Structures are given as structure tokens and as C-alpha cells.
């Protein structure tokens, strides 16, 4: 039987996830959509020709009789409330990153889920589902380049809107690295410092852009991540791992090489929707399959919490300029898998 999904938030990624659940993936049907801007929800349902109910309030989607599971793609500050309400209703929920705005918010979700007695939450950290990151992890795990000593990473967006502020470089953008790098290295973070170089003239008063985040892991690997969200030239994700006996880089997305007009060129993508298009498909298909099988196995509420513990320290480091400690509590047995 088809899994009946309710989606809260029909913006950029909400529309994308509804499209993939409807046209690409197997085993699910979107039966309810809500958006605080009702027109977004109505237009999405109409454009895809869905037989879905449109609700003004996300909580009505959660409690609708015919909704089996939820996808939360509304703005970041709304994630915690909708995820807690889904757990309360006993319904599995795929929540886009960040799971909550603070580690405390994520902890409330972890506690509610443990109280419910089974995993009900998958966080929209899609990079562990990306073939490139998986290949990079295989190289590290095989020991081919020895122990990872340093990582040089970059997270570049071509541009962001005026409502994107300095803190969002951490909570909305770096949060992907905070998740994927602990998975890649099988390690956790110990400390962080954030530095701001000369700002680009393409930014605005409330956004310091770019920024450099320097993390140290518990095993002593040093990581630098450049976050540059008005880089202009493209959507570019870089990750280079320097090991004891070699260097491994995240593969570039495949692109035809062209020789033309005295130039050798390959295309750089410009949109996150395209850069991780397959990973989004795989993460959501996994969610659908796992809900049907009765056991969620993707990025957990604990992973959401771990990323947010590090994010809180990064925000503190943005303000202080000092080295800030990252203290992740011990993982409860509930989340050992
Ligand atoms: P968006 O602003 O395009 O869409 C958000 C939508 O949520 C809007 O249509 C808005 O009206 C709606 N909304 C906000 N509050 C709501 C509420 N209380 N009830 C119902 N609807 C509400 O934003 P975008 O880019 O789609 O991002 C949405 C979420 O997805 C964010 O949390 C973002 O961090 C995450 N995201 C994740 C990506 C990934 O790579 N995993 C990529 C892009 C976004
Ligand atoms: P968006 O602004 O395009 O869409 C957000 C939508 O949520 C809007 O339509 C808004 O009206 C709606 N919304 C806000 N509050 C709501 C509420 N209380 N109830 C219902 N709807 C509400 O943003 P987006 O780019 O689609 O991002 C949405 C979420 O997805 C964010 O949390 C973002 O961090 C995440 N995201 C993740 C990735 C990724 O790569 N995993 C990429 C983009 C966005
Ligand atoms: C957005 O919400 C995402 O999740 C994208 O993957 C990221 O690159 C962007 O900076 C975020 O704002």
C-alpha cells in the first residue's frame, strides 16, 4: 500500500520533495500539503495535479486521519515544533535540516523520541547518501591514505537573499559539513574557532561573508571550512582529505569537457537542487522504505543534535573570536546502531 505523506512547507525544497515523491520515487503519495503562505501550497498541488488536501495549519496535516508520515520543509525555526507534534501523534517525520535552531531544541526532540520508544525522526542530511561522499568515505575507511590529518573544505553558494544573516552561515549552511564530516571521519568535534576575512562587496550589512570555520576533532584532525555564500560563480562543494600517505578529494559532479574558443572548460553547477539531486532521491526513498518496514535507519535525531551542539559552539565562536569547546554528551544506547 502507498504510504500517505503530509508535507509542511511548499517552498523551494518542499516543492522539490513533493515532485520527487510524486514523479520519481516509489511507494508514496502526497495526500496533504500546508504552507503558511497558502498560495504556495495551492499552486504546488495544482502544478503537479495532486489529489491532495490543502491545509492552512501544519498541525492539521500532522493530525489528519489519512496522513501516515510527515515531511517538514518549512522555515528553520518551525522544525522543532512540527517534529515534536509529529512524535506526539506517533507519526514518522522526515525533517529538513537543521532539526532545531539550538542543541537544546534538538535535545527536546531526542527526549521525546526516546519516550516514544522507537525511532520516528529522519533528518534531511542528504550528503551521506551522495555517491561522491560515499566514495570518499570508502577510501578513508580502506586506510589507503592512512589516518586523516587535515581536511580543507569549501561550501560556496552563488548568492543569498537579504534575509540571510551571519548566523545562518552556520545553522543553515555549515550544518551540512557539521553532519557529513563526523560521518566521514567517524569522529566527533572537540573545538572550533571562526575567523572573518575581508568581506566581499557583494554582501549586505547583516551578513559577514565569507567566513572560515576551523574545527578540531577528538582524534586531532584539523578541519578548515570556507563558507562563502555570495561567491557569484556557482554552487561549489569541496572536500580534500590530507592523509598520512596521500590525499583524497570529493569527486566533482560529472560534466562534459569542452575545447572551444581556445579554452578547456567544464560546467560548474549553480543550484543545490541539481548538485545533490540523486542524494535527495535516495534519502527520501530510504525514508519511505524504512517507514514501511517499521524501522528508520537514516540520519537520526541524535545526528541532528550532534550537528547542533557543534553549531551552537560555532555561533559562540563567531561572537567571541576565541577557541570554543564542543561538548557532545555520550550517545544514548537508543541511538547506537
Ligand atoms: P523556502 O522559504 O523556499 O520554503 C519554506 C516554505 O515554508 C515557504 O513556502 C514558507 O511559506 C513555508 N513555511 C514557513 N513557515 C511555515 C509554517 N509554519 N507552516 C507552513 N509553512 C511554512 O525555503 P527552502 O529553501 O525550501 O527551505 C526550507 C527548508 O529546507 C529549510 O529548513 C532549509 O534549511 C531546508 N533546505 C534543505 C536543503 C538541503 O539541501 N537539505 C536545501 C534547501 C533547503
Ligand atoms: P523556502 O523559503 O523556499 O520555503 C519555506 C517554505 O516554508 C515557504 O514556502 C514558507 O511559506 C513555508 N513555511 C514557513 N513557515 C511555515 C509554517 N509554519 N508552516 C508551513 N509552512 C511554512 O525555503 P527552502 O529553501 O525550501 O528551505 C526550506 C527548508 O529546507 C529549510 O529548513 C532549509 O534549511 C531546508 N533546505 C535544505 C536543503 C538541503 O540541501 N538539504 C536545501 C534547501 C533547503
Ligand atoms: C540551504 O538551506 C541548503 O541547505 C543548501 O544545501 C545550502 O548550500 C545553503 O547554503 C542553505 O541555505
175 lines ligand 2 (CB under 6 A): no
150 alpha carbon – ligand 1 mean position (Å): 33
Looking at the fold, whether 86 and 224 belong to one and the same domain comes out as no
pLDDT tens-digit map of 220-251: 999 999 999 999 999 999 999 999 999 999 99
pLDDT tens-digit map of 109-138: 999 999 999 999 999 999 999 999 999 999
Buried b (16+ CB within 10 A) or exposed e, 98-110: bbbbbbebbbbbb
Ligand 1 atom nearest 15 alpha carbon? 26
Domain of residue 52, CATH code: 3.40.50.720
Looking at the fold, whether 62 and 157 belong to one and the same domain comes out as no
pLDDT tens-digit map of 249-299: 999 999 999 999 999 999 999 999 999 999 999 999 999 999 999 999 999
Looking at the fold, whether 103 and 162 belong to one and the same domain comes out as no
81 lines ligand 1 (CB under 6 A): no
Tell me how far the alpha carbon of residue 179 is from its chain's centroid. 8
Query: How far is it, in rounded angstroms, from Cα 239 to Cα 313?
Result: 22
Ligand 1 atom nearest 175 alpha carbon? 34
304 lines ligand 1 (CB under 6 A): no
Looking at the fold, whether 266 and 281 belong to one and the same domain comes out as no
If you compute the radius of gyration of the chain from its CA atoms, what whole number of angstroms results? 20
Domain residue limits at 27: 3-125+277-300
Looking at the fold, whether 193 and 328 belong to one and the same domain comes out as yes
315 secondary structure, DSSP code: H
308 alpha carbon – ligand 2 mean position (Å): 18
Question: Are the CB atoms for 250 and 132 separated by under 8 Å?
Answer: yes
Looking at the fold, whether 311 and 197 belong to one and the same domain comes out as yes
With a threshold of 0.90, tell me whether the complex ipTM lies above it: no
246 alpha carbon – ligand 2 mean position (Å): 40
Please tell me the predicted confidence (pLDDT) of residue 337.
63
Domain count, the chain: 2
Residue reference for cell 578513508: 140
Please tell me the predicted confidence (pLDDT) of residue 336.
87
Looking at the fold, whether 103 and 189 belong to one and the same domain comes out as no
What are the φ/ψ torsions at residue 55 (nearest 5 degrees)? -115, 145
Burial class, 23, CB count within 10 angstroms (exposed 0-12 / middle 13-18 / buried 19+): exposed
Domain of residue 216, CATH code: 3.30.360.10
pLDDT tens-digit map of 63-112: 999 999 999 999 999 999 999 999 999 999 999 999 999 999 999 999 99
122 alpha carbon – ligand 3 mean position (Å): 18
99 alpha carbon – ligand 1 mean position (Å): 12
Amino acid at each position: 500500500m502507498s504510504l500517505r505523506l503530509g508535507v509542511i512547507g511548499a517552498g523551494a525544497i518542499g516543492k522539490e520533495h513533493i515532485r520527487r515523491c510524486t514523479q520519481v520515487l516509489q511507494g508514496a503519495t502526497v495526500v496533504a500539503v500546508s504552507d503558511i503562505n497558502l498560495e504556495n501550497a495551492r499552486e504546488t498541488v495544482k502544478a503537479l495535479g495532486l489529489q491532495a488536501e490543502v491545509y492552512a495549519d501544519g498541525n492539521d496535516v500532522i493530525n489528519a486521519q489519512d496522513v501516515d508520515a510527515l515531511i517538514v520543509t518549512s522555515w528553520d525555526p518551525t522544525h522543532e515544533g512540527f517534529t515534536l507534534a509529529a512524535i506526539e501523534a506517533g507519526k514518522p517525520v522526515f525533517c529538513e535540516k537543521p532539526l532545531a535552531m539550538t542543541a537544546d531544541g534538538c535535545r527536546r526532540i531526542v527526549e521525546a523520541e526516546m519516550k516514544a520508544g522507537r525511532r520516528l525522526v529522519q533528518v534531511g542530511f542528504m550528503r551521506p547518501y551522495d555517491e561522491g561522499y560515499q566514495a570518499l568515505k570508502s577510501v578513508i575507511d580502506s586506510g589507503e591514505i592512512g589516518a586523516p590529518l587535515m581536511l580543507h573544505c569549501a561550501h560556496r553558494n552563488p548568492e543569498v537573499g537579504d534575509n540571510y544573516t551571519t548566523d545562518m552561515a552556520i545553522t543553515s549552511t555549515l550544518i551540512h559539513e557539521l553532519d557529513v564530516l563526523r560521518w566521514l571521519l567517524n569522529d566527533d568535534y572537540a573545538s572550533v574557532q571562526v575567523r572573518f576575512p575581508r568581506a566581499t562587496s557583494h554582501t549586505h550589512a547583516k551578513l559577514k561573508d565569507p567566513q572560515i570555520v576551523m574545527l578540531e576533532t577528538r582524534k586531532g584532525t584539523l578541519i578548515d571550512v570556507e563558507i562563502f555564500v555570495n561567491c557569484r560563480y556557482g554552487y561549489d562543494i569541496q572536500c580534500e582529505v590530507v592523509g598520512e600517505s596521500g590525499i583524497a578529494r570529493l569527486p566533482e559532479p560529472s560534466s562534459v569537457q569542452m575545447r572551444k574558443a581556445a579554452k578547456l572548460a567544464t560546467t560548474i553547477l549553480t543550484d543545490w537542487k541539481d548538485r545533490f539531486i540523486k542524494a535527495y532521491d535516495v534519502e527520501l526513498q530510504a525514508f519511505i522504505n524504512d517507514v514501511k518496514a517499521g524501522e528508520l535507519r537514516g540520519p537520526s535525531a541524535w545526528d541532528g543534535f550532534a550537528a547542533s551542539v557543534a553549531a551552537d559552539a560555532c555561533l559562540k565562536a563567531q561572537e567571541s573570536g576565541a577557541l570554543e569547546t564542543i561538548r557532545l554528551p555520550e550517545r544514548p544506547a537508543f541511538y547506537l546502531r
